[in-house]
């Protein structure tokens, strides 16, 4: 918004007039919106993955196909955690005799647990019929991997203060 002051000095009156100018752009047509989306998609292909984002995760973000990463020691108690590229954390539920591993969403609570489950056979992951009942956390993979590294560093150097350990791990 732009504000302009005009001083109108007449013999009869001294008045400051305030004029507010607000220009709204024209709404894009369907063709323009489609072209803009295509250009944005092409620009994303040219961009490089930032920071610690893995190549698999970067490709999943571009393709829209979720990928899954099993992080050993990723949970609070040190067991396995399955992380999706969509930003969901899934914990181990059970492993069947047939070799199928069942995972359930880590968001649990009194009466309001997330019903999402995933079945793993070898390297193949299959989503259950019910989806997640909560929003995703896009930076979850990086956060869990960083927390795992911080815990490992803390176990290795018990006399160092926590802020110093965190700073050293995050600077690497």
Tens-place pLDDT, residues 25-81? 555 555 555 565 566 655 554 555 555 445 555 555 555 678 888 888 777 887 888
Query: Is residue 151 very low, low, confident or very high in pLDDT (cuts 50, 70, 90)?
Result: confident
pLDDT given at position 39 = 61
pLDDT given at position 103 = 92
- In 3-state terms, what secondary structure has residue 48? coil
pLDDT given at position 25 = 53
Average pLDDT over residues 150-168: 86
What is the residue-wise DSSP string for 13-33?
-EEEEEEEE--PPPPPPHHHH
- How far apart are the C-alpha atoms of 122 and 144, rounded to whole Å? 23
CB burial readout 29-56, b (16+ within 10 A) else e: eeeeeeeeeeeeeeeeeeeeeeeeeeee
Q: Calculate the average pLDDT of the chain.
A: 74
Helix (H) or strand (E) segment spanning residue 34: helix 30-46
């Amino acid at each position: 918004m732009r504000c302009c002051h005009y001083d109108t000095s007449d013999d009869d009156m001294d008045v400051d007039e305030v004029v507010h100018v607000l220009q709204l752009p024209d709404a894009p047509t369907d063709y323009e919106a489609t072209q803009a989306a295509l250009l944005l998609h092409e620009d994303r292909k040219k961009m490089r993955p930032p920071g610690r984002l893995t190549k698999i995760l970067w490709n999943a973000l571009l393709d829209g196909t979720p990928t899954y990463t099993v992080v050993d020691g990723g949970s609070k108690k040190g067991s396995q955690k399955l992380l999706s590229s969509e930003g969901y954390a899934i914990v181990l539920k059970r492993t069947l005799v047939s070799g199928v591993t069942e995972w359930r969403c880590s968001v649990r609570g009194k009466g309001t647990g997330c019903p999402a489950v995933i079945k793993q056979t070898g390297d193949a992951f299959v989503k259950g019929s019910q989806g997640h009942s909560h929003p995703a956390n896009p930076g979850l993979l990086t956060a869990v991997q960083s927390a795992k590294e911080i815990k490992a560093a803390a176990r290795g150097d018990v006399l160092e203060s926590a802020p110093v350990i965190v700073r050293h791990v995050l600077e690497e």
